[in-house]
């Protein structure tokens, strides 16, 4: 459920410019501390898993690029605060429904990797 909490935090940051402005200058330990006080219960590992999934999905499925150092997504990271980059260039690429799919996938099956948010589901061999 904690990964779903990080998705909820990202959605809140996207929809509330004041929240994004407040958290954006913080380093990760401070984000974790203040987010918990604001009712978002997630860990660094939860954030890393969600970020990795979302970034990979943007690069591979939305941009149709290889997931390597040549991806155009990474250019948006340069010179930006990391949370701003995440909200403005990663989370912004998803509808609320797509993010909800990510949240539901994590809630229903915490130990397996969810299918792509935008690609068709893959059948098990």
pTM: 0.79
- DSSP assignment, residue 121? P
- DSSP assignment, residue 62? I
pLDDT digits (tens, 9 = 90+) for 54-66: 999 999 999 999 9
pLDDT digits (tens, 9 = 90+) for 101-113: 766 555 554 444 4
pLDDT digits (tens, 9 = 90+) for 19-32: 999 999 999 999 99
> Helix 96-108 to helix 2-15 angle, to the nearest 10 degrees?
170
Residue 109: other Cβ atoms inside 10 A: 10
Q: Which residue has the higher pLDDT, 123 or 37?
A: 37
* H or E stretch at 96: helix 96-108
Determine the Cα–Cα distance for residues 18 and 47; give it in Å rounded to an integer: 21
């Amino acid at each position: 459920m904690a990964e779903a909490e990080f998705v909820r935090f990202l959605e809140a940051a996207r929809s509330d410019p004041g929240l994004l402005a407040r958290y954006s200058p913080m380093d990760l330990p401070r984000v974790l501390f203040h987010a918990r006080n604001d009712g978002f219960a997630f860990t660094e590992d939860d954030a890393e898993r969600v970020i990795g999934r979302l970034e990979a999905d943007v690069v591979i499925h939305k941009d149709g690029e290889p997931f390597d150092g040549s991806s155009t997504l990474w250019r948006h990271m340069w010179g930006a605060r990391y949370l701003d980059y995440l909200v403005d260039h990663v989370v912004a690429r998803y509808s609320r429904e797509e993010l909800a799919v990510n949240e539901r996938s994590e809630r229903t099956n915490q130990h397996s990797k969810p299918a792509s948010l935008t690609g068709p589901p893959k059948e098990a061999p």
